[in-house]
Structure 1
């Protein structure tokens, strides 16, 4: 696994993130009959909040992003995209582990949605997320974070 780091996103990152989103989601959205070249980027631009977004860097270069947005009843894990050539390298698991181990999340519920048929679902399941509901397009998943739910950096009930 390559050395990686997280840095706080800035408004200047929006176009890199929007482009990566279009690349990463294209195959799944096409399979679901939902891909629109303009809309996939604009939806990201419309909801981009650098305050709750981090950029994943490898060697100082943009490699991905992830957002963790607080809401009334949970934190939403959103916009978790990693450059295709880095997927499967362990970086996504390491980033997710770092986010879920944050002290300020103890006791919090983390929610996310993943597209039907996306291989990312397996990543989330390995980290203790379970399905709450689904529709023809999305699978909604959640898990509660607690200090007691982690042993040696691995979620209890999950595997690396």
Structure 2
């Protein structure tokens, strides 16, 4: 695969990719309003890079408003989606320009949202344009090379080791620590379906679990390996958690052990005490428009 600057001869092909992509993806919009001419209007003044395969066929494009590091469009031709074209275009961008970069992803475009988040993009805000809610996403706030993926049963060993490294001291201060019981209990209640693994160069470095409950967005767990702490990862991910809750018009809630100093971070980020148990503080970030 080759990534290069677009030339005039590419423009008719790119217009067709753009038109077909919108028809395929934006199923909630009126397709009758989509025109080939839209491509030229929507990318005016932007830097356009294209991907081409081994047969020199153009398979996708990315357009950027360089003055603001804003990724305006990323489209891949039908038949080439899922082949790494979109990722290659983004990696080319990062190799040529300093970040961070921003883009807007329509909330209804869940496949794109999952794609960007897997590559390390994080939600930094939300809004609405032409009646469609969107999430403002940033790339470059997390350490370079940090990706995330869905957890599987195969991650259980790593997650237990991570839990011991990050939480044992606080658990021991609260209840005491009996290793065999702790591990059995951890494995008993392990639920990978709502958990993401953070990786750098294929090595797991942390985990986060967010649950979309009926009346709240709930941060079940966030643990960063000690070797990767104090690099802003937790702050960026909690900010994303808050913004996702805002986009859903839900409060963001969590609980933290009373002996865990992470409470101070949550307070700095706007969480307020909304209750407590014998062992935990219950905290909430209120809904804000």
Name the TM-score, length of structure 2 as normaliser. 0.46
Distance 1:33 1:51, change over 3 A: closer
Give the equivalent residue in structure 1 for 2:284: 142
Give, in whole Å, the separation in 2 of the partners of 1:134 and 1:102.
24
The match for 2:192 among 36, 50, 53 is 50
Q: 1:112, 1:142 within 8 Å by CA — same for their partners in 2?
A: yes
Give, in whole Å, the separation in 2 of the partners of 1:30 and 1:103.
32
Name the TM-score, length of structure 1 as normaliser. 0.79
Give the equivalent residue in structure 2 for 1:75: 217
Q: How does 1:9-48 map to 2 (within 5 A)?
A: 9-48=151-190
Deviations 1:72-113 (A, max 9, x none): 332221121111122222111112223333378521122211
Report the secondary structure of 1:38's partner residue: helix
Give the equivalent residue in structure 1 for 2:241: 99
Deviations 1:115-150 (A, max 9, x none): 11212112222222111112331111112344x3xx
**Structure 2 residues without counterparts, runs of 5 or longer:** 1-141
Give the equivalent residue in structure 1 for 2:265: 123
Q: RMSD between aligned alpha carbons?
A: 2.2
Give, in whole Å, the separation in 2 of the partners of 1:81 and 1:69.
15
Give, in whole Å, the separation in 2 of the partners of 1:104 and 1:129.
13
Q: What is the count of residue pairs matched by the alignment?
A: 147
Pair 1:2 & 2:124 matched: no
